[in-house]
Amino acid sequence: MREFNLLQLVRENIKNMTPYSSARHEYSGQAAVFLDANENAFGSPLPVNYNRYPDPLQLPLKEKISQIKGVPAANIFLGNGSDEAIDLLFRIFCEPGKDNVLIFPPTYGMYEVCAEINNVAVKRVPLTPVYQLDLAATEAAVDANTKLIFVCSPNNPTGNSIERTDIEVLLNNFDGLVVVDEAYINYARQKTFIQELTEYPNLVILQTLSKAWGLAGLRLGMAFAGQPVIDYMNRVKYPYNINTATQQLALEALGNISSVNNWTRTTVIQKEILTEALQSLSITEKVFPSDANFILVKMTNARNVYAYLAGLGIIVRDRSKIILCDDSLRITIGTPEENKQLLEALKKYTA
């Protein structure tokens, strides 16, 4: 891989900014009396006191994640969902009205939304018909102002993992940051890129506690990268971006890995059962292979099927209008009972 220079990517105003320094940033020792942050010293009207500001760097939580993931805490950023990390990458590395990023549709929609919010151009290189990267088209699309490449693997909405060797080609040849979104990695047969962080200084990995960990309501996303990248993310983020309740509940949840592993295994088994059952339906044209906790299903008149299911109170995601997903529904793997209700409804469907 060619020499990587992070400073060439960082916006000048970000390089020169003085980050906000909270009271908790300025004191890291043990204290008994807190008269520094203008909090209500008498408590809060809740059973648990939340009158004090949270740890701005979430250090105990990062240490726990560090133990689970095998990554130093200094290489971890925690955000209000992965979406915060995505937005920060735009704000740190992309000059509005000048720079651009690369995405591979069909893919997760927030990359493009964040680009629009930050006035950053988006270059779209569609996946191949088998939902893999088109490396030749990617190379042709990259220019001197391309700062970020987003690769969702396993991909949303297609469910498949992107070929690992193709991602490595990007990492070895792109001068900007390659952001590998691994939101569904717990369900995948392909291993995470986390162990490659020391090899690729231009690698950023996104993961989340919203999927396999079952904590979507907490909104806690994780970014893993070299310490220089993480340091910039911590400089630019809002001071107390992860509230105390989320930090406490996440710490508690991270101590229960066995339940998460059991749910993951059950989800994979249910995915196989649901896939086989869907393939037997006359309205099903194809069930695409999936390494995620959902499946993409091409159906005859998918939009009508979607409306029919919605009328019964069964909500799936209609992806028919996006590129390479004509007449396709994205179906999350539910509980055995939920999957049974879905199948019974589809068996009764008439066009």
Residue 351's pLDDT band (cuts 50, 70, 90):
confident
Element (H, E) at 298: strand 294-299
The per-residue pLDDT for 119 is: 98
The order of strands in the sheet holding 328-332 is 284-287, 294-299, 328-332, 317-318
The predicted-structure confidence for 316-342, as pLDDT tens digits, reads as follows 999 999 999 999 999 999 999 999 999
* Predicted model pTM: 0.96
CA distance 287 to 30: 57
Q: What is the mean pLDDT of the chain?
A: 96
The per-residue pLDDT for 28 is: 66
The per-residue pLDDT for 97 is: 98
The predicted-structure confidence for 100-132, as pLDDT tens digits, reads as follows 999 999 999 999 999 999 999 999 999 999 999
CA distance 208 to 213: 8
Residue 1 pLDDT exceeds 60:
no
| Percent over 70 (pLDDT), the chain | 98
The per-residue pLDDT for 272 is: 98
CA distance 258 to 249: 17
**Amino acid, res. 63:** E
The predicted-structure confidence for 12-54, as pLDDT tens digits, reads as follows 999 999 998 877 776 667 788 988 899 999 999 999 999 999 9
In this predicted model, which residue has the larger pLDDT, 28 or 286? 286
The average pLDDT across 244-267 equals: 97
The average pLDDT across 254-270 equals: 97
- Residue 61's CB is within 10 A of a number of other CB atoms, namely 23
The predicted-structure confidence for 167-225, as pLDDT tens digits, reads as follows 999 999 999 999 999 999 999 999 999 999 999 999 999 999 999 999 999 999 999 99
**Amino acid, res. 156:** N
The per-residue pLDDT for 59 is: 96
Domains of the chain: 6-255 (3.40.640.10), 258-347 (3.90.1150.10)
Residue 162 pLDDT exceeds 80:
yes
Q: Is 239 exposed, middle or buried (0-12, 13-18, 19+ CB in 10 A)?
A: middle
**Greatest alpha-carbon span in the chain:** 70
Asked if 246 contacts 208 with a C-beta cutoff of 8 angstroms, the reply is no
Residue 298's pLDDT band (cuts 50, 70, 90):
very high
Residue 267 pLDDT exceeds 80:
yes
The per-residue pLDDT for 289 is: 97
